[in-house]
């Protein structure tokens, strides 16, 4: 099995609905995003996929979230913008582009992260 990973980042604000604590208040993060794609075989160029293509597709997704109030984005009007749900959102948006990630990890700080993957 082969795995490739790319990292990117975005900045945004959010608040957690239904949460009792300081995170229920409006606050922001400089999010780091790690996308892993896996394959049992390589393409004819010897790659799982082109890093440039993966970075580009991830960048377009993150552009929609960068410097935004996440709670106001259509998806997060119904889904609480937790780190877990942000990872799932990015995973789903990548699937729509034809990429099936092995996992998407989102860091909200240097010591706190959430990962989403499907079996």
Look up the pTM and report it. 0.96
Q: What is the pLDDT of residue 9?
A: 98
- The whole domain housing 84 covers 2-116
Q: What is the pLDDT of residue 78?
A: 96
> Where residue 44 falls among pLDDT bands split at 50, 70, 90?
very high
Report the mean per-residue pLDDT for the chain.
97
> Where residue 60 falls among pLDDT bands split at 50, 70, 90?
very high
* Domain count of the fold of the chain: 1
105 has a pLDDT exceeding 90: yes
> What's 69's domain CATH number?
3.30.479.10
Which residues form the catalytic set?
23, 67, 108
The DSSP string of 49-118 is S-HHHHHHHHHHHHHHHTTEEGGGSHHHHHS---HHHHHHHHHHHHHHTT---SEEEEEEETTEEEEE--
- Summarised one tens digit per residue, pLDDT across range 9-27 is 999 999 999 999 999 999 9
Q: What is the pLDDT of residue 106?
A: 98
């Amino acid at each position: 099995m082969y795995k490739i990973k790319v990292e990117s980042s975005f900045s945004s604000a959010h608040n957690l609905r239904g949460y009792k604590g300081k995170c229920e208040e409006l606050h922001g993060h400089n999010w780091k995003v790690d996308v892993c794609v896996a394959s049992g075989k390589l393409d004819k160029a010897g790659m799982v996929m082109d890093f440039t293509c993966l970075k580009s597709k991830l960048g377009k997704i993150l552009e929609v979230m960068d410097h935004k109030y996440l709670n106001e984005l259509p998806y997060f009007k119904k889904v609480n913008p937790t780190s877990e749900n942000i990872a799932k959102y990015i995973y789903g948006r990548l699937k729509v582009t034809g990429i099936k990630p092995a996992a998407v990890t989102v860091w909200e700080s240097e010591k706190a992260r959430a990962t989403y993957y499907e079996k």
